[in-house]
Structure 1
Amino acid sequence: MNDDIAEQPAPPPTPPPATWPAPLDVPSPAKRRLSPLAAGLIGLAVGAGVVGGIWAITASSGPSQPATFTLEGSFTLTDDVSDNGDGCSGSYDSGYDDIAEGTSVTVYGASGDVVATGALGDSTYSDYTCEFKVAVPDVPKGEKFYKVEVSHRGTLQLSAEEAENGELAASLG
């Protein structure tokens, strides 16, 4: 055997470490300032957008109609009453024959304007009297007082509190 080891080739030379080229010495651009006119126009546009947005939100979220209540109570006819089995009414040719279920009920505000209308509701005959339920919906709140008229029989005045609490108690006869 031969102790001669074949000569090994030399490793390739190591390349020098990579270096980045030196940054160019470029001056940074000067910051441009807005002219007062441009700044004013931008501020005006932003302000108008904010105001318009707030208006759109509040316009669509508010109540569409004023607050209302249902005026409730009773109306009793005490003279010349007849009971026809389906309810009661004023007797024919008694002078009260305009009083029956469905007869108009008109509610007036403090200024005398009509604020709501309804009709006499279900009736009950008892002891020669006829009692009608009254429920007039959509009466606007905020009046100092209300006047209620059944048919053409004159008005009965209620305070706002009485009207809103359902304290109508009227009679005729």
Structure 2
Amino acid sequence: MEGKTGMTQVAPTETSLDHAAALCARRGAQLTPLRRQVLRLVLEAESPVGAYALLDRLKASRDRAAPPTVYRALDFLVEQGLIHKVERLNAFIGCTDALDHPADCGCDAAHDHPHQFLICGRCGATAEISDAGVAAALARAARQVGFAPRRATVEVEGLCARCAAGPEPAPGAA
């Protein structure tokens, strides 16, 4: 893309992919071409995307791609904190904190940050938030009953702002 200054600008997805590669390299891991391609497909999806939808898209350029190929790449991307699995939807979404964070800052941002998902029950839009207060309240409640949490993902279903502002669907419509 060309900016007003005539300098070439990097597309946001490319920037995120470069950040992901740098983050992996700092951790001694490698964002292989296949992993990068799967991450690109997750980032380019308009909403959380399932493994088989990713496989269908991947087959456009890798006709020999099989479910284990996609699942191994997804497992790596989740392990590296680059994507999250939204259990309610059995789908994957890019981690906004990890991918929007400057790759050269030297920290390990977003690897194990608290995250919560707001899932619209009408249109399926999903937003990731990272509210430390929610995580702290959950940890405090767990400690009160003698539970030691290692990781928590909170998924909240409701209506996004757009759907909440719109008319109610007709009975039986969804």
Q: Shorter-chain-normalised TM-score: which range?
A: under 0.3
Structure exhibiting the larger radius of gyration computed from Cα positions: 1
Of Structure 1 and Structure 2, which has the larger fraction of its residues in helix?
A: 2
Q: TM-score under structure 2 normalisation? A: 0.20
Which structure ranks higher in relative contact order (CA pairs < 8 Å, sequence separation ≥ 6)? 1
